[in-house]
A = this chain, B = another copy of it.
């Protein structure tokens, strides 16, 4: 399967059956979608051994390929992780079905009754890296929102994903839904991704999940719209009005709770008038093993701070490193974020509510926060249930992409013979 025309044929075949499945899913009941998820969760629990033996093949392939320890860790599945995958599916059962919800309804003077109603989007493509659990999570979220999914996982997780997909298919079959509701691209050939990105007649939106280079490559090529974020260069701005204790705790949490997630703070902006708070914050960060890089003024204020280069202001470390910059007041902080940020998540620490409101109004990011940690930038933490990703785009979905964001809408108009004058 390396021949270009074979790949085109394969992908268009997948696209056609996905469209057909999507049409059937438009009217699938909540009950049958939930039954499919429950059946899939059961199948995953029952097929634990098979999933692990398929995962062993992937691990052997990964070791041969020389994957890093971190990548191998993301790839590996054990009893606990498989149980978590099954639990993830049953969690989605508990979420309310967004489809058919009437989000707005009104009557016109001529008696026409109009409502806006949530409908499925159609077909959603998901392109992801090595974590095999995404196969279940993403497939299940798309299904619950009435969409067909075309999944393209990393080649490293090829066998594990295949075994998980079989379990999803079992659930769909038992529930009387088309198994084509969740398909995956059954080849490691990269040309399949290239083809997927051109399939505007088959795929309504693609969600790329992975590192910056994956997302950049997909953004440059894709003709299909994307829900994506390239990177999370998140800022926390500590003002002179900040409660010092709170500022220290929040900055530590925002940076160090988990350094590898997109909502981790990468740059601390410290107001010139708040420099007295700097050493206390640096104490906490260095104690936790964080390297602190700063501009000349922060270095003057604290000797432990090493020099930051211009590049630091636009770097998503995803590691125990933070950059710190002294800013002269709120407008300078907002300006720094506009220039260097990635429109993901930014927080201000202040007891002054006017300052807070200006920051919340003027910072143009998907999520803006006051007096809390940027690590809360997460669909689950927002109460939206599971998320398929976080979007920094401004169209359709911004911020966490949960069930609701995986839907479209239609207008339903009920008349009694009205003609337009």
Q: Enumerate chain A interface residues (CB-CB to B < 8 A).
A: 23, 26-27, 106, 108, 112, 114, 119, 121-122, 204-205, 225, 243, 246, 249-250, 252-253, 257, 338, 356, 360-362, 364-373, 375-376, 381-383, 394-396, 398-399, 408-420
* Cross-interface CB contact of A414 among B114, B119, B370, B413, cutoff 8 Å: B370
Identical subunits present: 2
Decide: B416 and A371 in contact? CB cutoff 8 A. Answer: yes
Do A365 and B420 touch (CB < 8 A)?
Answer: no
Q: How far, in angstroms, from A361 to B253 measured CA to CA in the complex? A: 47
Q: Is the CB of A413 within 8 A of B367?
A: yes
Q: What would 30 A/B residue contacts be, using CB atoms closer than 8 Å? A: A23-B338, A23-B364, A26-B361, A26-B362, A27-B362, A108-B383, A121-B394, A121-B395, A122-B394, A204-B394, A225-B225, A225-B395, A243-B417, A246-B417, A250-B419, A252-B419, A257-B419, A356-B414, A364-B410, A366-B411, A369-B413, A370-B414, A370-B415, A371-B414, A371-B416, A372-B415, A373-B415, A373-B419, A375-B419, A395-B395
Instruction: Tell me how far the C-beta of A145 lies from the nearest C-beta in chain B, rounded to whole angstroms.
Output: 12
Least Cβ–Cβ distance between A16 and chain B, in angstroms: 14
In angstroms, how far is the closest chain B Cβ from the Cβ of A38?
25
Contact residues in B for A250 (Cβ distance below 8 Å): 417, 419
Main secondary structure of the interface of A (DSSP, over half): mixed
Known: A112-B376, A409-B398. A415 touches B369 (CB 8 A): yes
**What residues of B have a CB within 8 angstroms of the CB of A395 in the complex?**
121, 204-205, 225, 395-396, 408
Contacts of A365 in B (CB 8 A): 410
Contacts of A383 in B (CB 8 A): 106, 108, 114
Query: What's the Cα separation between A181 and B26 when bound, in Å?
Result: 41
| Chain B residues with CB below 8 A from A394, complex form | 119, 121-122, 204, 408
Chain B contacts for A398, CB-based, 8 A: 408-411
Additional A-B contacts beyond A23-B338, A371-B414, A371-B416 (19; CB < 8 A): A26-B361, A27-B361, A112-B376, A112-B381, A114-B382, A119-B364, A360-B412, A368-B411, A369-B413, A369-B414, A370-B414, A372-B413, A373-B419, A376-B413, A376-B418, A381-B420, A395-B396, A398-B408, A398-B410
* A26 partner residues in chain B, CB cutoff 8 A: 361-362, 364
Enumerate chain B residues within 8 angstroms of A252, measured Cβ to Cβ. Answer: 419
For A23, list chain B residues within 8 Å (CB): 338, 364
Contacts of A413 in B (CB 8 A): 367-370, 372, 376
| Among A26, A27, A367, A418: residue with most chain B CB under 10 A | A418
Which chain B residue has the least Cβ–Cβ distance from A375?
B420
Identify the interface centre among A362, A367, A371, A419: most chain B CB within 10 Å of its CB.
Answer: A419
- CB of A96 to closest CB in B, whole Å: 14
| Residue contact B420 to A253, C-beta cutoff 8 Å | yes
A62 to B121, CA, bound (A): 43
Closest 9 CB pairs of A and B: A372-B415, A253-B419, A394-B408, A396-B396, A375-B420, A369-B413, A246-B417, A371-B415, A372-B418
